């Protein structure tokens, strides 16, 4: 049985799902066919219901949770791992409503966190995440929200932080930042949903137990990234929440949904039931 699975080329995803894709674990007769795209492209493909299983920003997931269920393994959550609002010039937070800002996709959690911290910012420009630093430096935009490995490199290019949007969320909610997770189409049989959820956990467990096993796969998609940055990326975004989102992680997702919808959404409406 073939199932499509979308995830990003970023080291955290290739590290976690190498065992699943290359059958280093028993996949129980399922062949996972990878669809490797930027997370915003994956968001759009989920919105179009094109993939069986996929990485998705939790912000985008709020728009499709009635069609997709969220798995409890494979997520990117944490503390101190959120997107950063950066600029070349010194701006005060009071000036931000008058400035232009680049975002890595309107459906990303980064875009949600920007709105959460600065609801009066209106001039937003969608860009691929790795183009944002250059757009700020060239003056195409005044500011930008960076994600992924750019949080480790922006200072080297003469840019500085206006606000850590993740820290702002943490201070306000006392919860980790729900960045992205792995969802599965609800058209699949509930037993299959549960099986996929279990296999995701086994793949992450394998990655933790055999950290060198995925090196070739990670390097295949991170050829231009320095080894130190690759390791920082994995160590930042792969953590115990990736193995099991847990009670606190679920609370963070539910809080985000409450902020988005202005009302409570129940846990069993969101997550795969084992």
The tens digit of pLDDT for each residue in 28-77 reads: 999 999 999 999 999 999 999 999 999 999 999 999 999 999 999 999 99
Contact 6, 42 (CB under 8 A): yes
| pTM for this prediction | 0.91
Residue 274 scores a pLDDT above 80? no
Topology adopted by domain 84-173: D-Maltodextrin-Binding Protein; domain 2 (3.40.190)
The domain made up of 2-78+177-269 has a fold known as D-Maltodextrin-Binding Protein; domain 2 (3.40.190)
Domain residue spans of the chain? 2-78+177-269, 84-173
Q: Which of residues 53 and 153 earns the better pLDDT score?
A: 53
Same CATH topology for 2-78+177-269 and 84-173: the answer is: yes
pLDDT of residue 223 exceeding 80: no
Q: Residues 22, 59, 122, 148: which is the catalytic one?
A: 148
Q: Is 125 a catalytic residue?
A: no
Contacts within 8 Å (CB) and 24+ apart, 215-222? 217/14, 217/15, 217/18, 217/21, 217/22, 218/11, 218/14, 218/15, 218/18, 220/14, 221/9, 221/10, 221/11, 221/14, 221/36, 222/9, 222/10, 222/11, 222/14
Of 6-15, 204-213, 217-226, the poorest mean pLDDT is in 217-226
- Confidence at residue 150, expressed as pLDDT on a 0 to 100 scale: 79
R_g over Cα of the chain: 18
**pLDDT for 229 beyond 90:** no
């Amino acid at each position: 049985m073939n199932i499509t699975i979308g995830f990003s080329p970023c080291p955290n995803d290739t590290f976690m799902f190498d065992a699943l894709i290359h059958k280093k674990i028993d996949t129980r007769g399922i062949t996972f066919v990878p669809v490797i795209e930027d997370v915003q492209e994956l968001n759009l493909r989920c919105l179009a219901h094109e993939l069986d299983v996929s990485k998705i920003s939790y912000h985008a997931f709020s728009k499709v949770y009635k069609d997709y269920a969220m798995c409890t393994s494979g997520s990117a959550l944490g503390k101190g791992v959120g997107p950063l609002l950066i600029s070349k010039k010194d701006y005060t937070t009071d000036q931000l409503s008058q400035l232009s800002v680049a975002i890595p996709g309107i459906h990303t959690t980064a875009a949600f966190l920007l709105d959460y911290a600065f609801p009066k910012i209106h001039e937003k420009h969608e860009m691929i995440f790795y183009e944002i630093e250059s757009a700020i430096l060239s003056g195409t935009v005044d500011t930008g929200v960076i994600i992924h490995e750019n949080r480790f490199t922006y200072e080297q290019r003469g840019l500085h932080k206006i606000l850590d949007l993740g820290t702002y969320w943490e201070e306000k909610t006392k919860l980790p930042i729900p960045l992205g997770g792995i969802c599965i189409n609800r058209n699949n049989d509930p037993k299959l949903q549960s099986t996929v959820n279990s296999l995701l956990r086994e793949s992450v467990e394998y990655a933790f137990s055999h950290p060198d096993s995925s090196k070739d796969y990670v390097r295949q998609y991170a050829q231009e990234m320095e080894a130190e940055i690759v390791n920082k990326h994995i160590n930042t975004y792969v953590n115990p929440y990736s193995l099991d989102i847990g009670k606190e992680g679920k609370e963070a997702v539910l809080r985000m949904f409450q902020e988005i919808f202005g009302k409570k959404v129940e846990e069993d409406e969101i997550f795969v039931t084992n």
